[in-house]
Amino acid sequence: MITNTVALLGMAERGGFAIGAFNVYNLEGTLAVVGAAEEAASPAILQIMAESISREGRPLASTCLEAASSASVPIAVHLDHSSSRDEIERWLESGLKSVMADGSHLEFEANMEFTRDIAEMVHYNDGVVEAELGRLTGAEDGLTVPEYEAKLTDPTQAGDFVAHTGADALAVCIGNVHGRYRSEPRLDFERLEAIRDVVSAPLVLHGASGLDEDLVRRSIELGVRKFNVNTEVRAAYIDSLAESFSATESPELVVVMERAVDAMQSLVAAKMRLFGSASD
């Protein structure tokens, strides 16, 4: 059944767990996430990158909305990392009621104004908004310590930011990175705790691919209610395709797709168990 992100995050808050938000790029990814959610009796978020929706458009959005509606467990559909007011407005009209308004490339004040403006529009359309404070990098390499720290979420700004913007969830930067971690992931839990003390909205951690059980557990204890997982699901898909096409006989395409769905589905179901959202 289709539901909204705030309802899911509320469910996670009450249950002391987190929801997995998995980026999908096509039908196989969508089937894998919904299949995993049904297998693990878990809620989930189907997440579409702004970049992929600008290429694949309405068919991809419709695929996700239809898959969520016909699922036997609660599923929300979320637009990930959009910095464009027009884009967000267009997709709200097409039924994507959960969006990330990403103003993290802007200075603090400008990010606050951008996010507040989008939040007003989204709330007017009965939607929900995730915002980001700080700036998530692909990897921290090449930055000096002060440069790196300047990109982390500042707990002294976080309370005002959420109160002023009306954001329904806040993505934090505490050492998490997009893509693969080049060394052992290290999360700044002191910072996370300080953010949680001033922000009552649910917290979101992007770059959850590669986080082990201890890091995930501690993050949940400190208020993270949504983990974004992209890299690992994408890798499961690509590895499965590579394996199918490296066989000496060229396989049937339906078999190739089925294997790819299975590979992503087992990865996603394992994440749901790790995040505590599974009830199987």
Q: Phi and psi of 179, rounded to 5°?
A: 80, -160
| Least Cβ distance, residue 136 to Zn ion (angstroms) | 6
Shortest spacing between CB 234 and Zn ion, in angstroms: 13
User: What tokens appear for 76 in the block?
Assistant: 């929300």
DSSP assignment string, 74-138: -EEEEEEEE--HHHHHHHHHTT--EEEE--TTS-HHHHHHHHHHHHHHHHHTT-EEEEEES---S
The answer to whether residue 78 forms part of the interface with Zn ion (CB under 5 A) is no
Instruction: Choose the stretch contacting Zn ion; rule: CB under 5 A; options: 113-121, 139-147, 205-213, 250-258.
Output: 205-213
Region binding Zn ion by CB under 5 A among candidate stretches 69-77, 120-128, 200-208, 245-253: 200-208
Question: Judged by CB under 5 A, which of 78, 196, 206, 225 binds Zn ion?
Answer: 206
Task: Please identify, among the stretches 82-90, 107-115, 201-209, 264-272, the one whose residues bind Zn ion according to the rule CB under 5 A.
Answer: 201-209
Cα–Cα dist 15/198, whole Å: 21
Q: Report the residue closest to Zn ion, judged by CB.
A: 206
User: Could you say which of 80, 117, 168, 214 is catalytic?
Assistant: 80
Closest by CA position to 134, among listed 180, 191, 91: 191
- The nearest distance, CB 206 to Zn ion, in angstroms, is 3
Q: How many residues in the shown chain lie near Zn ion by CB under 5 A?
A: 1
Active-site annotation holds for 154: no
Indicate whether 225 belongs to the interface with Zn ion (CB under 5 A). Answer: no
Which distant-in-sequence residues (6+ apart) come within 8 Å of 141 by Cβ? Answer: 182
Three-class secondary structure of residue 43 per DSSP: coil
Q: Which residues are catalytic?
A: 80
